[in-house]
Structure 1
Amino acid sequence: MKANLRKIRKHRVYSEEFKVQLVQEFESGKHSVPELERLHGVASTVIYLWIYKFSTFNKKGFRVVEMKQSSSQKLKELEKRIKELEATVGRKKIMIDYLETMMEVAKEELDIDIKKNFSTPQSAGSGKKSKK
């Protein structure tokens, strides 16, 4: 005869310090909720409850929306974008310096003033002619 076997539920009790630590890791952007779930073996629904309970930013009644990418990945992408933009600015600065040097050479050697001279009067030939 087989005995009645019931599934024994595992009921874990976590300390308040552990819960607060997980919430702080989430708020700092170090880990997302699915990452915390995998790292600590705690269900995501439980982690969300802790976030609502212990978070200074997220309160009950407000939905916590997570992006698929973690904050650290976003930060790395933004730093990469900054480096690309700085390189572009550097190339443009080199081009500007080159063109200014060429304008100076043209003025000194060829006696051609490429820069606009603001002291010269406007030409009268660009106006509209009236019909007679």
Structure 2
Amino acid sequence: MKKTPEQRIMELEAEVKLLEKQKAFLERQAYIADKKVIFFDMMINLAEKEYDIDIRKNLSPGQSPASAVKRKKP
């Protein structure tokens, strides 16, 4: 059975509301993730300074983590 234009509009409006809720949720999740990254970075900096150790690996500028692993394996 074919839907009337009014029914189709109502369905699309409901879908838009759902997508707006999903977008808002994902934006909140991204905001929280960004804050966690900043926090963890600060904690690593503090630990490196406080204990005078290098926690992060120092890679050469042209070397990616994937290529470093490939080169280590025989």
**What range describes the TM-score normalised by the shorter chain of this pair?**
0.5 to 0.7
Counterpart check, 1:76 vs 2:17? yes
Match of 1:97 among 24, 38, 42: 38
Alignment of 1:9-20 (within 5 A): none
Q: What do you get for the CA RMSD once the two structures are aligned?
A: 2.1
Alignment of 1:1-132 (within 5 A): 26=5, 31-32=6-7, 70-119=11-60
Q: Which runs of 4+ in 1 moved over 3 A?
A: none
TM-score by length of structure 1 reads 0.39
Greater helix content: 2
Q: CA 1:104 to 1:70, structure 2 compared with 1: closer, same or farther past 3 Å?
A: same
| Structure 1: gaps of 5 or more residues | 1-25, 33-65
TM-score by length of structure 2 reads 0.67
- Tell me the percent identity: 27
Q: What's the offset of the Cα at 1:106?
A: 1.2
Q: How many residues align?
A: 59
| Structure 2: gaps of 5 or more residues | 61-67
Q: What's the offset of the Cα at 1:127?
A: 6.5
Q: Which of the pair has more CA radius of gyration? A: 1
